[in-house]
Amino acid sequence: MDVDGGQDVENRNIIVWNKHGGLNQQWDVIYVDEYPAEPVKGELNEQFGLYVERPFYITSELGEHRLLTIIDSKQLAIKTKNVTAQQTWFFDQTSLTIKNSQNKKSFNINSNGASKQIHVYTTNSGWW
The verdict on 72 and 20 lying in the same domain is no
**CATH number of 126's domain:** 2.80.10.50
Q: How many domains does the chain have?
A: 2
The verdict on 85 and 56 lying in the same domain is yes
- What is the domain range of residue 60? 39-128
The verdict on 45 and 108 lying in the same domain is yes
The verdict on 29 and 44 lying in the same domain is no
pTM of the model: 0.70
Give dist(CA 60, CA 78) in Å, integer.
Answer: 7
Q: What is the pLDDT along the chain (128 residues), one digit of tens a residue?
A: 888 999 888 778 888 889 999 999 998 777 778 878 889 999 999 999 999 999 999 999 888 889 998 888 778 888 899 988 999 999 999 989 899 998 898 887 777 667 667 778 887 655 54
- Residues whose CB is less than 8 angstroms from the CB of residue 22 and which lie 6 or more positions away in sequence, other chains included: 2, 6
